[in-house]
Amino acid sequence: MSTSLQLDPLLIGGFKPRAQMEEEFDLGSFCSDFPNLQLQLTNLTKSISDDALQLAVGKVMTDLVFLLDSLSIVAGDASEPEPFNEVLSILNTVKSEAYLLVAFIENQVMELAGLEETLSDTLDRTSYAIKHEVRRIFECELAEVRLNQADHEADGLLFHSQGVLTNCFQQCMIDLARVFDESLTGAHLFPDWKTRRECSLRLCRDLSELIGFVHAGEKGSLSDLPERLTSFREVSMHLMYKDWRQYEILADQIIKSIGNGERPLKLLHRLGCYLETLLGLVKARSILAESASEPFCLNEEVGVC
């Protein structure tokens, strides 16, 4: 793993002395897409007086940054996306490195003597969250995706996987950092946090409005619904990690039926249920999770994504 810190488990006690650690562990020089994050992590780890704990926490944080940097390559520039096979290869590397991080947390960090309860609980949650999300992504979402399978659905799954894993690793980083500085929030640590939160809030609002139009169409006029369905597809749908195809199928069937003078009540009911389920999933995104520092509020002011 190409981080500036590597622990050698063969060393006595599993950790290197402070002097050697300070030579090798230089977060400020680590090449990252999150320079401000690196500075804050340096300050956090230097505030830890215990040598072994400082080294262990530093490695966990650095590994999380490495994983986020790798995923940022996957996100890339929407106008010039990475080749499909390269994205899949990067995601597989992320999987391997994430499992190595989990093993390090469970087999070394959690075994440190005198580990404070709050930190221990946070590390335990971090390990569980990473295992849960990585398994869900690679054993379910991407289980059938193969090399050279570049198509609309596969591309959507890769984009979805990048988003879910980024959310997971960022939330783990926030939780761990707040053990040492409760004033830190996602907006302090990640430059794109506010933008991503605003986009998720906007998607929630657009979904809520569309659900209202669908329910209104079940009871009354359908004249405005085709335009609303088309507008959501063209404007809001890019804010979702996946589910493009399912929405397109239902929307196209409904628009066609209305165009033929029909009232597709069963299709409208299916679309309403689908949108409500999707709204629940978006609200559950970690970036919208309720916390003392950043509570979720659907009426929160948002900018342009």
Q: Where are the domains of the chain?
A: 12-191, 195-288
Q: Which residues pair with 80 in a beta bridge?
A: 77
90 pLDDT more than 60: yes
Residue 272 is predicted with a pLDDT of: 92
The class that CATH gives domain 12-191 is: mainly alpha
Q: How far apart are CA 237 and CA 147, in angstroms?
A: 26
Least confident of 18-22, 181-185, 274-278, 298-302: 18-22
- Between the two ends of the chain, the Cα-to-Cα distance in Å is 33
Least confident of 13-17, 114-118, 224-228, 254-258: 13-17
Residue 41 is predicted with a pLDDT of: 82
Residue 101 is predicted with a pLDDT of: 96
Label residue 291 by pLDDT band (50, 70, 90). Answer: very low
Mean pLDDT over residues 240-251, rounded? 77
Residue 23 is predicted with a pLDDT of: 42
- The H or E element containing residue 268 is helix 265-283
Report the mean per-residue pLDDT for the chain: 78
Write out pLDDT tens, residues 201-232. 888 999 999 999 999 988 888 888 999 999 99
Mean pLDDT over residues 52-76, rounded? 87
Contact 213, 228 (CB under 8 A): yes
Residue 148 is predicted with a pLDDT of: 65
Q: How far apart are CA 247 and CA 78, in angstroms?
A: 21
Contact 56, 112 (CB under 8 A): yes
Higher pLDDT, 49 or 34: 49
Residue 181 has what DSSP assignment?
A: -
Q: How far apart are CA 126 and CA 105, in angstroms?
A: 9
Mean pLDDT over residues 259-278, rounded? 91
Write out pLDDT tens, residues 115-137. 899 999 999 999 999 999 999 89
Residue 106 is predicted with a pLDDT of: 95
